[in-house]
Structure 1
Amino acid sequence: MKNRGTRSIFVGACIAMASVLGLSACGAGDQGDDTAVTFAVGSPNLEITTAPYVAVPEQMGFWKDEGLDVDVQGTEGATASVQMLAGGRADIINGGTSSFFQEAARNPDIQVISLTGPNVWRVYVPEDSPIQSIEELKGKTVGAQSLSSASYLFGVAALESGGVDTETEVDWLPVGTGNQAAEALNSGHVEAYASYDGPAGVVGNLTTDGLRALPSELDNYNGLLGIATLKETIEQRPDVVEKFLIGLIKGAIFSATNPEAAIDLQFKQFPEQRPQGSWDEVLSQMMPVAEKRFVDGGVQTDGLPLGTLSAEDVQSSIQLMNEYDVITEEVSAEDVLAFDLNNAAWSQVDPAAVAEMAEEYNVE
């Protein structure tokens, strides 16, 4: 394994901050009200890609139907979300699993309760770029949401696995998301952008020629994005966690069935995000993003319930992260995974009924 001293120290410092904060005896939402849940999402602007697990459950009342009051808070990335969880300021978090597993190596209370299937993390270049492979990024500048985000960490893994030394052969530049990232690409300040399906689609719509993903070793791995909480939350508030996951599952089914409806609900939740123009013009921008993130992202593997992966599959992904120093500690998937409540939530959901609800939704 290569010695990635600078990056390891940076990531370790970020995670160590969470440890300094200390674990709270009670979750953020457990303040005498067992209906309150604080959900930290590793996306500062809660853009369109978060619709299945933010806007749709909230606007359709999926969490409210379960008796929950969910407070969604966007963060600068998975590391920031983990800090909130470890510090008792969030009950459940979303983000790239690199930060989850890194913290779990130090804190055995971290539990991963739901995971995506196919890889969503990629390195993108402008559509008309001459760059066709990861190796051709040598000597280039690569942008990422921030240098503490999972987008950066998985970007490192993608480049390292493609034969690029990410400390000596590329420059990294934090460029945020949305318009800021698009401007960095349009102006040539960065020649590539490390992100994940969805946010990259939004950025691509804002660039001159769109974006194209470069093939990488990460495409062969699953479970690189997910949901986590604390062991004590599972033990003390299992019904709350299960009900939260019911809302999440319904949101995923609804969004995959009717992406247009999910887009409409996103802009009802966040009207300031709606692009200018007619609804048809909005859809022409948003539908490619939605179809990629809502439909393709909802595919599961091995016939398991959405959100559940085999321990062997996850361990393989952990080994990839270890190999390229995305995480610097050894972690056992068996110790971190806790899918029982996700599977219990699935048993409470009628997928056909949710799909019918989505099909009957009328965009106003």
Structure 2
Amino acid sequence: MISHRMLFLGLLAVGSMALTGTAAVAQDTLSPDNPYKIVLGTLPIGPMIPAFIGAEQGFFLDEGLEVEFKPEPAGQDIVTAIIAGEYHFGFSNQTSFLTARSRGLDIYAIASGTIGESDETSAAHGVLVPEDSPIQSMADLQGLRVSVDTFGNAPHVTVLRSLELAGVEDPLNDVGFIELGFPDVVPTVSAGRVDAGFAVEPFLTVGKNSGLRIIANPLLDTQKGFPLSVYITSGELIEERPDVVDAFIRAINNSMAYASENPDEVRDAFPRFNNNVSQELAESVDLSLWSTDFGPESLELGAELALKYGFIDSIPDLEEIVYQPGE
């Protein structure tokens, strides 16, 4: 079986492919009594909890949508599934989206996914090292091995930026990067098989509870409130069912606003969203931050950095690739 990752790389090479499957399902009107069924690609991380809560609270059903969650290991896999017509919507880091779009793939950003923290007291992302490691800062990582969940994605971009700001002149070549899924960061760093690893909640707190410590927050280093991720959909769905896309945007924005205003409910929902997270762990994690403000300007810095580090050959027209309701 061809993996989503292999298909993603293939799609980048050929540009696009015909959409089939779930995105082609037709239904004339949106109604809570006869909801339009959508598939949303997800990741098992804290930033996605608002979508789960939104489904529980009925925000999607209120818009005439019935949502099914489909978990994937990385943002690239979700991009691939949307292009392949398997999913209507997805959650992806902004760099994977920009990379796919810069290669001509027919996808659009439609809403903010999560934003980086504004200070260290609420850091939901960070670089972990063993407690007894001599590494004290990002500058100490020169010549060592660092993990990111996927090469060429937003965490990779922010780690590179953080290294550069710390004085590492050529971070792409002066640091050895390896791919490591978020659930594997803590055991791999603890065992010394990698010198440092980028993690997101709940794995950041798991690491701190396991004797690891945080040396930096690359998102905060890059920009306060850095727009890390976006919700995406296909151009075909926008063309055929803009009402479904607009309904999804309203539902996910209501979900993120609700999550921001009700952090206790986010913590309560975490173990239901990810059954590997205990209630005790959920009570101790630093929650992600969400924003309903989203437009082309949200992607400007990320696009500039993706170009600088060679993940895209040129910056696409941001006005064109960001869909906003009513267009």
TM-score range, shorter chain: 0.7 to 0.9
| 1:175 equivalent in structure 2 | 180
CA distance in 1, matches of 2:78, 2:104: 15
SS at match of 1:125: strand
Find the partner of 1:17 among 5, 11, 14. 11
Deviations 1:191-246 (A, max 9, x none): 221244x3543443552144343457523573331111122212221221122222
CA distance in 2, matches of 1:168, 1:106: 24
SS at match of 2:48: helix
| 1:353 equivalent in structure 2 | none
SS at match of 1:264: helix
Deviations 1:342-362 (A, max 9, x none): xx9xxxxxxxxxxxxxxxxxx
Taking a change above 3 Å as real, the CA distance of residues 229 and 273 of structure 1, as seen in their structure-2 partners, is: same
| 1:7 equivalent in structure 2 | none
| 1:76 equivalent in structure 2 | 73
Deviations 1:94-124 (A, max 9, x none): 1111111111122263211112574369651
Structure 2 residue identity aligned to 1:336: I
| 2:324 equivalent in structure 1 | 339
Is the CA contact 1:182–1:206 (under 8 Å) kept in the aligned structure 2? no
Taking a change above 3 Å as real, the CA distance of residues 88 and 320 of structure 1, as seen in their structure-2 partners, is: same
CA distance in 2, matches of 1:212, 1:110: 36
| 2:204 equivalent in structure 1 | 201
Aligned length: 307
Gaps of 5+ in 1: 1-10, 301-305, 345-364
| 1:287 equivalent in structure 2 | 283
TM-score normalised over the length of structure 2:
0.79
Is the CA contact 1:112–1:229 (under 8 Å) kept in the aligned structure 2? yes
Higher share of residues assigned strand: 2
| 1:126 equivalent in structure 2 | 129
CA distance in 1, matches of 2:84, 2:182: 26
| 2:248 equivalent in structure 1 | 244
Structure 1 residue identity aligned to 2:324: F
Superposition CA RMSD, Å: 3.2
Structure 2 residue identity aligned to 1:52: P
CA distance in 1, matches of 2:19, 2:179: 35
The structural deviation recorded for 1:148 is 6.6
CA distance in 2, matches of 1:164, 1:14: 31
CA distance in 2, matches of 1:261, 1:233: 32
* Residues 26-37 of structure 1: pairs in structure 2 closer than 5 A: 28-33=22-27, 35-37=36-38
Structure 1 residue identity aligned to 2:309: Y
| 1:40 equivalent in structure 2 | 41
State whether structure 2 residue 210 is matched by structure 1 residue 213: no
* Residues 213-292 of structure 1: pairs in structure 2 closer than 5 A: 213-214=216-217, 217-219=221-223, 222-270=226-274, 272-275=275-278, 282=280, 285-289=281-285, 291-292=286-287
Structure 1 residue identity aligned to 2:127: Y
Is the CA contact 1:144–1:176 (under 8 Å) kept in the aligned structure 2? yes
Provide the identity percentage.
20
TM-score normalised over the length of structure 1:
0.72
| 2:121 equivalent in structure 1 | none
| 2:314 equivalent in structure 1 | 329
